[in-house]
Amino acid sequence: MIAALTTPYVAWWALVPLITFAVAGFLLLTVASLVRRLPAVLAPAWTAVAGLGVLLYLVPMWSRVGRDGADSFLAGTVGVDRSSIFVTGILAVAVIAAALISRDYLPREDLPGVELYVLLLMSAAGGVVMASANDLIVLFLGLEILSIAVYVLAALHLRRIESQEAALKYFLLGAFSSAFLLYGIALVYGATGSTNMVRISAFLAQNVLVDDAMLLAGLGLLLVGLGFKVAVVPFHAWTPDVYQGAPTPVVAWMAAGVKAAGFAALMRVFVLTLGTYVSDWRPAFQVIAAATVLAGAVVAVVQTDVKRMLAYSSIVHAGFILVGLQAATDRGNSSVLAYLAVYAFLTVGSFAVVTVVSGTGDASHGLDAYRGMGRRHPALAGVFTVLLLGQAGIPFTGGFVVKLGVLAAAVDGGAYWLAGVAMLAAAVAAFVYLRLLVAMYLEEVPSGTETSGAVPLGALVVAVASAVIVLVVGLVPGPLLDLARDAVPVLVAG
């Protein structure tokens, strides 16, 4: 008689966000295949509702984890803790924002309907897997689900050659980085005998490796693989090209969502799993963080294309997040999460504005397109101003609050030089945002520019909501900081 298979314990309640995203994507694809002519509003509304549903569901999930503690299931390969819930929340927000921005973008560009939304939902599902992975293999799975969807998303603007170029670059480099990551996982497995994060960290805590060359090599390769995804120097070279070429709503998702998932993965792998080797990887992180903020800020200054500017500024932000991450303390982790949250709002709002300004064809991204915007579109320019000041880290915006957090984490850990370098880079980067402000307010409207019409509703909602949230966080930072402080990442054995 053959014994029946014992299936592992599954905490279905913790899988709801993942399943929601995935099933929403599948259903949308099915419906779109069955029905020839869908109402245009259905797909974005569907996506936004899925995101909203996830966001609402996270509230009871948050309190449940707070009550019962973190958990892990599926034979200990997937975990649920408050940090994964926090990151899932960021992903949901980014999905909603990207869907709203796309609502008017796709008809304007005369692009086919539902694929963007399906891929967006799939990609979000991958992000959720990454944020709650308790096993390196699962982490890799999540990363691939996330990335492959984004490769296709980048190519979605069929008639722009830049979009195709962006997708190809992103795909090739992404595939490389995945290979690095996989090899890193293999080496870590070789050194520790497991791919499970809990077992790896337990093994490293209990055993002292006489010869840790293989583990260190694996650690380095993991860093390379994840470093590509979050775009830190020297693995950042794809960012400006891809951001410039990819459709703008997709860029909003890439900057907000993919980055959040990537940093969540970095945190789980390095701070939690390889925490015992912090003295080995911290110097590398510090050097990378310093190089990232400096290179990003300096190169951003000479850009003339706004999307490229924002791409380099996103590199600077990635460096700032690393400044908090390298501390490898509770303070550092919570500062990273808070930064990711505020950065998500800053970036989706900014790219919402960029989507509107770019005009039909998604082509006008030069500074010229922003000249005199303060006069033509006072409201939109005002919102963009708030977002740019937030990105620059000006006081009383959320940008300052979270920058203060990561700097405090770095200083607390004794990395004074790194904090100093980061602040200097922030001052350099401020020039980039000032250039945009100068173009919007201090330069005259070039003659021959038609006064553009109404601002599409979806993008406007995203931009205004983001700006309001950034301001509110800047003035009343308590709630967000408390959430981020409570969102402690933990590994629980299955």
Q: How far apart are CA 458 and CA 456, in angstroms?
A: 6
Among 175, 280, 485, 492, binds other proteins (CB under 8 A): 485
Residue 246 and residue 254 in contact, taking contact as beta carbons nearer than 8 Å: yes
Q: Would you say how long the chain is, in residues?
A: 494
Residue 419 and residue 410 in contact, taking contact as beta carbons nearer than 8 Å: yes
| Choice between 201 and 334, CB closer to other proteins | 334
Q: Is 207 in the site for other proteins (CB under 8 A)?
A: no
- 3-class DSSP state of 35: coil
Q: Is 4 in the site for other proteins (CB under 8 A)?
A: yes
In 3D space, the residue among 251, 366, 359 whose CA is nearest the CA of residue 314 turns out to be: 251
Stretch that binds other proteins, among 228-236, 263-271, 286-294, 435-443 (CB under 8 A): 435-443
Stretch that binds other proteins, among 68-76, 131-139, 248-256, 390-398 (CB under 8 A): 390-398
Q: Give the pair of three-digit tokens for residue 375.
A: 């006069």
Q: How far apart are CA 262 and CA 95, in angstroms?
A: 16
As measured in angstroms, the least distance from the Cβ of 23 to other proteins is: 11
Count of CB atoms within 10 A of residue 10's CB? 12
Burial of 91 by CB count in 10 Å (0-12 exposed, 13-18 middle, 19+ buried)?
buried
Q: Which amino acid is at 455?
A: V
Q: How far apart are CA 467 and CA 382, in angstroms?
A: 9
Q: How far apart are CA 234 and CA 252, in angstroms?
A: 22
Composition of the chain by helix, strand, coil, percent to 5: 75, 0, 20
Q: Is 211 in the site for other proteins (CB under 8 A)?
A: yes
Q: Is 477 in the site for other proteins (CB under 8 A)?
A: yes
Q: How far apart are CA 436 and CA 393, in angstroms?
A: 15
Q: Is 270 in the site for other proteins (CB under 8 A)?
A: no
Among 19, 379, 476, 493, binds other proteins (CB under 8 A): 476
Q: Is 214 in the site for other proteins (CB under 8 A)?
A: yes
Q: How far apart are CA 466 and CA 343, in angstroms?
A: 10
Stretch that binds other proteins, among 240-248, 250-258, 282-290, 422-430 (CB under 8 A): 422-430
As measured in angstroms, the least distance from the Cβ of 316 to other proteins is: 13
Q: How far apart are CA 125 and CA 117, in angstroms?
A: 12
Instruction: Count residues binding other proteins (CB under 8 A).
Output: 51
Q: Is 420 in the site for other proteins (CB under 8 A)?
A: yes
Stretch that binds other proteins, among 78-86, 136-144, 353-361, 394-402 (CB under 8 A): 394-402
Q: Is 376 in the site for other proteins (CB under 8 A)?
A: no
In 3D space, the residue among 187, 172, 156 whose CA is nearest the CA of residue 251 turns out to be: 156
Among 283, 395, 449, 457, binds other proteins (CB under 8 A): 395
First to last CA, the chain: 29
**Beta bridge mates, 78:** 73, 133
Q: Is 441 in the site for other proteins (CB under 8 A)?
A: yes
As measured in angstroms, the least distance from the Cβ of 431 to other proteins is: 6
- Name residues contacting other proteins, limited to 33-72 (CB under 8 A): 33-34
As measured in angstroms, the least distance from the Cβ of 326 to other proteins is: 15
Q: How far apart are CA 218 and CA 180, in angstroms?
A: 9
Site string for other proteins, 152-191 (x = CB under 8 A): --------------------------------------x-
Q: At what angle do helices 197-206 and 161-192 cross, to 10 degrees?
A: 40
| Choice between 11 and 423, CB closer to other proteins | 423
As measured in angstroms, the least distance from the Cβ of 456 to other proteins is: 24
| Choice between 10 and 41, CB closer to other proteins | 10
Stretch that binds other proteins, among 53-61, 134-142, 429-437, 457-465 (CB under 8 A): 429-437
As measured in angstroms, the least distance from the Cβ of 216 to other proteins is: 13
Q: Is 3 in the site for other proteins (CB under 8 A)?
A: yes
Q: How far apart are CA 131 and CA 89, in angstroms?
A: 11
As measured in angstroms, the least distance from the Cβ of 295 to other proteins is: 17
| Choice between 33 and 451, CB closer to other proteins | 33
As measured in angstroms, the least distance from the Cβ of 436 to other proteins is: 11
Q: How far apart are CA 428 and CA 477, in angstroms?
A: 25
As measured in angstroms, the least distance from the Cβ of 477 to other proteins is: 5
Q: How far apart are CA 6 and CA 3, in angstroms?
A: 9
Q: How far apart are CA 284 and CA 418, in angstroms?
A: 12
Q: Is 9 in the site for other proteins (CB under 8 A)?
A: no
- Name residues contacting other proteins, limited to 326-365 (CB under 8 A): 334
Count of CB atoms within 10 A of residue 403's CB? 26
Q: Which spans of this chain sit near other proteins (rule: CB under 8 A)?
A: 2-5, 7, 26, 29-30, 33-34, 190, 210-211, 213-214, 334, 389, 394-396, 400-401, 404-405, 407-408, 411-412, 416, 419-420, 423-424, 426-428, 430-431, 434, 437-438, 441-443, 475-478, 481-482, 485
